[in-house]
Structure 1
Amino acid sequence: MQEQESQQTEKVEAAETSAPEPLQENVAQPETDAKEVNQATPASAQPDASQIIAQLEAKVQELQDSFMRAKAEGENIRRRAQEDITKAHKFAIEGFAEAMVPVKDSLEMALKIDTPSIEALKEGVEMTLKQLSAAFDKNRLTDINPAPGEKLDPMKHQAISMVPAEQDANTVVTVLQKGYTIADRLLRPALVTVAQGK
């Protein structure tokens, strides 16, 4: 029994002596120095200062070109807009003038008649008035003709005088002259007399 134990002990000791020593792994890896990395990379891969300056100058030139193009385009738009405004002012009444030409033609034709009758003159005036009213409607020129008893509106009516009347104060009694608006803008107020009140 003792012999077996001693044999086993000898085997274990022999195994321990014969086993190679375990390899120790180098946990801490050597740090690479920045100088070594720079030396390892080829010089052609590293941009030098002159290349960087050249790239930046090219970018500045590109931005300047873009700015100049945008500025020129802005100037062209401003100039075209100014021309459109000038043309709009110059030809603003073109549509109204086209509508008024037939009215002038009718008046000239009426004057060419040597001895017109009263009926013919009246008929010509009525036709001319219809043409004129159509021209006004086409160009959004509407009349202001308040009815008697209507409240005085200082935005549309101009009171010439106050007269005694059997109606509420500050109401229209008579219209002396019609007023006009063009496209909802006052062109001329209606001239009216207003009641003084009861």
Structure 2
Amino acid sequence: MSEATSNPNHPPQSEEELAAAAAMPPTDPLADAQAELLNLKAQNADLADQYLRAQADVQNARRRADDEIAKARKFAVEAFAESLLPVLDSLEAGLAIPNVTIEQIREGSEATLRQLKRALERNKVVEIAPAAGTKFDPHHHQAISVVPAAQEPNTVVTVLQKGYSIAERVLRPALVTVTAPK
């Protein structure tokens, strides 16, 4: 075997290297390419399988998240409705009593109002009722009218209707009268 055919980068120098080079079977470039092609096909199939599994995992996670969101919405409304049932029961019980006096109606209405407020508080519904002199906040208040007053300009004079928020989000702004700018 000549030096040019064994290893062009490092020609054998000793007799041992020459013997080892002669003992190695000649490499077939076609066989090597076919073996490498089979290896790459196997790797490709493995990666394709991993990709499909990852896609399925993502779709399953998305489906589970959507189901959890739907359940959370459903049960949130359910819990809120459940907290209002005692208020409904009180109103029905009050209307079922014959020959009621004005004082009894007032007492029943006040008790029912307390129940309703507790139910709203349990469900994080917060009242927006700014005190007179509070700075007008357009995020929580809606000015119905502007009046001249001895207060600072752009402050609340009176609350015409309370507002409500839930989890820092305004459900309904408080309707207020505001002082005129000077």
| TM-score, with length taken from structure 1 | 0.73
Report the Cα offset of residue 177 of structure 1.
Answer: 0.5
Instruction: Determine the structure 2 residue equivalent to 1:23.
Output: none
Kindly indicate whether the alpha-carbon contact (under 8 Å) linking 1:152 and 1:170 is maintained by their aligned counterparts in 2: yes
Specify which of 156, 162, 176 is matched with residue 178 of structure 1.
Answer: 162
Report the Cα offset of residue 84 of structure 1.
Answer: 2.0
Specify which of 38, 41, 48 is matched with residue 24 of structure 2.
Answer: 41
Report the Cα offset of residue 112 of structure 1.
Answer: 0.8
CA 177–53 in structure 1, closer or farther in 2 if over 3 Å, else same: same
Report the Cα offset of residue 169 of structure 1.
Answer: 2.1
Instruction: Determine the structure 2 residue equivalent to 1:6.
Output: none
Residues 119-167 of structure 1: per-residue CA shift (max 9 Å, x gap): 2111111111111111111111111111112221212111111223222
Following the alignment from structure 1 to structure 2, what is the Cα–Cα distance between the partners of residues 197 and 78?
53
Instruction: Determine the structure 2 residue equivalent to 1:67.
Output: 51
Report the Cα offset of residue 31 of structure 1.
Answer: 8.3
Alignment gaps of 5+ in structure 2? 1-12
Larger C-alpha radius of gyration, 1 or 2? 1
After TM superposition, the structure 1 stretch with the greater mean CA deviation from structure 2, 154-163 or 57-66, is: 57-66
Alignment gaps of 5+ in structure 1? 1-27
CA 53–105 in structure 1, closer or farther in 2 if over 3 Å, else same: same
Following the alignment from structure 2 to structure 1, what is the Cα–Cα distance between the partners of residues 130 and 16?
100
Kindly indicate whether the alpha-carbon contact (under 8 Å) linking 1:167 and 1:197 is maintained by their aligned counterparts in 2: no
SS of alignment partner, residue 76 of structure 2: coil
SS of alignment partner, residue 136 of structure 2: coil
Instruction: Determine the structure 1 residue equivalent to 2:40.
Output: 56
Kindly indicate whether the alpha-carbon contact (under 8 Å) linking 1:161 and 1:194 is maintained by their aligned counterparts in 2: yes
Kindly indicate whether the alpha-carbon contact (under 8 Å) linking 1:165 and 1:197 is maintained by their aligned counterparts in 2: no
Residues 105-125 of structure 1: per-residue CA shift (max 9 Å, x gap): 111111111221112111111
Following the alignment from structure 1 to structure 2, what is the Cα–Cα distance between the partners of residues 136 and 79?
32
| TM-score, with length taken from structure 2 | 0.79
Report the Cα offset of residue 58 of structure 1.
Answer: 2.1
Residues 12-59 of structure 1: per-residue CA shift (max 9 Å, x gap): xxxxxxxxxxxxxxxx845845xx64540368xxxx434443333222
Which amino acid is the alignment partner of residue 94 of structure 1? E
Specify which of 161, 172, 176 is matched with residue 192 of structure 1.
Answer: 176
Which amino acid is the alignment partner of residue 176 of structure 2? V
Instruction: Determine the structure 2 residue equivalent to 1:24.
Output: none
Instruction: Determine the structure 2 residue equivalent to 1:117.
Output: 101
Which amino acid is the alignment partner of residue 154 of structure 1? P
Instruction: Determine the structure 2 residue equivalent to 1:142.
Output: 126
Note if 1:163 corresponds to 2:144.
no
CA 94–30 in structure 1, closer or farther in 2 if over 3 Å, else same: same
Report the Cα offset of residue 197 of structure 1.
Answer: 5.8
Specify which of 117, 120, 127 is matched with residue 133 of structure 1.
Answer: 117
Which amino acid is the alignment partner of residue 152 of structure 2? D
Query: What is the identity percentage for the equivalent residue pairs of Structure 1 and Structure 2?
Result: 50
Instruction: Determine the structure 2 residue equivalent to 1:25.
Output: none
Kindly indicate whether the alpha-carbon contact (under 8 Å) linking 1:166 and 1:197 is maintained by their aligned counterparts in 2: no
